[in-house]
Amino acid sequence: MKTVIRKRLAEKGMTVHAFHKQLGGNRTLVYQIANGFYRATVPQREKIADALGTPVDVLFDECGMPRLAE
């Protein structure tokens, strides 16, 4: 199971660890969101989308769960 977030990070040559350092906040939470195990809040979704330069609706569904990559 690979999320769109993980796919975008791979395209940028970035690890989840490096992404967490860029975002700040709780490391475990960033890992759980990136791997699709945690529903992100609206502010978290916006921060992640902004950092990746991708629209929120591409990364997350309407409930805040990370979308799976195709």
Tell me the DSSP string of 12-46.
Answer: TT--HHHHHHHH-S-HHHHHHHHTT-SPPPHHHHH
pLDDT confidence of 1, banded at 50, 70, 90? confident
Task: Please count the other Cβ atoms lying within 10 Å of the Cβ belonging to residue 15.
Answer: 13
pLDDT confidence of 70, banded at 50, 70, 90? confident
Q: What is the pLDDT of residues 13-40, one digit of tens each?
A: 999 999 999 999 899 999 999 999 999 9
Q: Note the pLDDT of residue 25.
A: 86
Q: Name the residue ranges covered by the structural domains of the chain.
A: 4-59
CATH of domain 4-59: 1.10.260.40
pLDDT confidence of 57, banded at 50, 70, 90? very high
